[in-house]
Structure 1
């Protein structure tokens, strides 16, 4: 199959002449009421005669606006794409007194939102098989969704899924820090606060970034967050970290019950995810295929062309496998 993807070369020009006009013309944005009535924003686009319908579950701090290039690539290659901004980030409602807080009460809330999104927004417009694509935190949300609703998606692709995070502290240390943080919040009589060492949004220079080797894509990401300040998000709260630990333990304990056919990309140069734990979990999933991407940093969908393109070829091959109009 010949797939075509955007390139880092002249990417700013590609955005101006192709991606942004595509967004204006072909992408629909909307909102629905998620768990407990919070407004959850989403976007979608459907090409003529799509191969299948893809739902994207994005990572922490992300908005669907950050996915414009990836969505454009999927659409150009014949996939219908639906994506939501998880509660507490992106353009969706923020959940605490401080809009910069990375906060969630429980990862079950993310799962509730995703299932509501699929049932109420995606399924009425679905064409072809329904497939899931996830990045990072979105991979943890995706795995929990597959656990709760095993037949919702025909197959899934998880890039750098958050099945473990660095620093990989011993459980007793992590739990002690979380308990202390929650106690500090109670003493201050506040609903939540940043975990130790976490701060509001900081735009790190490219030289300090551990997300991508692509200077061009990193610059576009930072420019977007400078221009669209509503999507900025700071560090994690103690509550989010507590919820994340519970979610990752549940995924590891239940890995054998996650039976959806799945391709998992593990970025070998990832300094955010605990790859050792991630790969251990994947090996316990009965229908999961692990693909290690040498040298790659955390964000495979915005990596340099040399790393991104083979990943996207493999992703599109996997999603189109066995489809009558895509094989």
Structure 2
């Protein structure tokens, strides 16, 4: 089904690709993909949740890895990014009103696509912003999702002397002044990608080139920087999932994977959060950068091995 996906050299689509769009209850079109397993025994379905400014195409390799393990995969482009509806006239601006909008979209995705069309049991594999969305949705996922693997959740910014609560309060002031749609950082997306030597997300030059080629060939899939309103929403979500009462409500067994050389999210915050989870454990991959699934094999294979150990196949999934 290549008419739904945007192809570039060196990034072949997985086998058994399907998908489409669903319309949210507030009228947004959300692109989703479903990919059947290519190996037996069948192990269930991994719901793959991407980070900010990511699209389905960036995870083709990971989807193939999961399909080769007997897992089906269901994934989506979050509202406001990828090939889903953008929320502002300037489609470069990363914007969302609240992360609860994301969790409502995820809930609808489960109800309309995953539960009716995808084989159980269900697991979540989520990166960065997607990991925070998974945490925020987790109290309602206890009877749906068997396990979660959360990679480098965006709980705090590294080396920042102010708390996420302070960030939220400052951003709230700007939003009250009508400035929420202004860029909080970085500005519009450059026509030229950041040189590999200056990037903060991976130490793998080939995977970095592959991913930047997607956005070079299909610029409408990319975003510029986050707006003030998006940053306020992210800070509020990080606060919410860090509340002790909220953490006590998380019942889905969770493996949190941190990147030891992360320059995007706070490794200390990730470690601290994992220690507070009653049903959680932590794997820190020393030397890995933020996007572990886009990293060198040395780091990526550690993550996949941990996934294999934590997300076993079960007899009732065959």
TM-score, with normalisation over the residues of structure 1?
A: 0.87
Residue 169 (structure 1) shift: 3.7
**What residue is the counterpart of 2:107 in the other structure?**
115
Deviation at 1:15, TM superposition (A): 6.5
Mapping for residues 107-186 of structure 1, pairs under 5 Å: 107-171=99-163, 174-175=167-168, 177-183=170-176, 185-186=178-179
1:198 alignment partner, one of 180, 186, 209:
186
In the TM superposition, residue 147 of structure 1 has moved relative to its aligned partner by: 2.3
Alignment partner of 1:155: what SS? strand
Note the C-alpha offset of 1:183. 4.8
* Distance in 2, Cα, partners of 1:300 & 1:57: 14
Distance 1:223 1:175 in 2: 34
Secondary structure, in 3 states, of the residue corresponding to 1:241? helix
Over the aligned positions, Cα root-mean-square deviation in angstroms equals 2.1
Deviation per CA, 1:99-142: give whole Å up to 9, x if none.
01111000000000011101110111222311111000000000
- Helix, strand or coil: the match of 2:311? helix
Equivalent residue pairs, number: 304
Structure 1: stretches of 5+ with no match in the other structure: 1-13
CA distance in 2 between counterparts of 1:73 and 1:28 reads 17
Corresponding position of 1:4: none
Give the direction of change, closer, same or farther, for the CA distance of 1:221–1:52 in structure 2 (3 Å limit): same
Partner secondary structure for residue 232 of structure 2: helix
Corresponding residue for 1:227? Answer: 217
2:20 pairs with 1:40 = no
Superposition map of 1:194-273 within 5 A: 194-195=183-184, 197-202=185-190, 203-253=193-243, 254-273=246-265
- Cα distance change on mapping 1:155 and 1:50 into 2, 3 Å: same
Residue in 2 that maps onto 1:5: none
Q: CA deviation at 1:325?
A: 7.8
The offset of 1:184, in angstroms, is: 5.1
Which residue in the other structure is 1:285 paired with?
A: 277
Residues 15, 229 of structure 1: CA spacing in aligned structure 2 closer, same or farther, 3 A cutoff? closer
The runs of 5 or more residues in structure 2 that have no matched partner are 1-7
SS at match of 2:150: strand
- Which whole-Å deviations, capped at 9, do the CAs of 1:134-183 have from their partners, x for residues lacking one? 00000000001102332220111001111222353424752454145325
String of CA shifts for 1:196-238, please: whole Å, max 9, x gaps: x431113211000111110000000001110011111011101
Superposed CA deviations along residues 262-312 of structure 1, whole A, max 9, x for unmatched, are 111011100111121222122111111101100100001010011101211
Counterparts of 2:168 and 2:310, CA distance in 1: 38
Alpha-carbon distance between aligned partners in 2 of 1:292 and 1:283, rounded to the nearest angstrom = 12
- CA distance in 1 between counterparts of 2:210 and 2:106 reads 27
Task: Tell me the TM-score normalized by structure 2.
Answer: 0.90
Encode CA deviations 1:5-34: one digit per residue, 9 max, x unaligned.
Answer: xxxxxxxxx965xx62x53x5111200012
Distance change >3 Å, CA 276–CA 26, structure 1 → 2: same
Range moving further from structure 2, 283-292 or 169-178: 169-178
Question: Distance in 1 between the 2:295 and 2:312 partners?
Answer: 22
Name the residue aligned to 1:103.
Answer: 95
> SS at 1:170's partner residue?
coil
State the alpha-carbon separation in 1 of the partners of residues 128 and 111 from structure 2. 23
1:85-100 pair list within 5 angstroms? 85-100=77-92
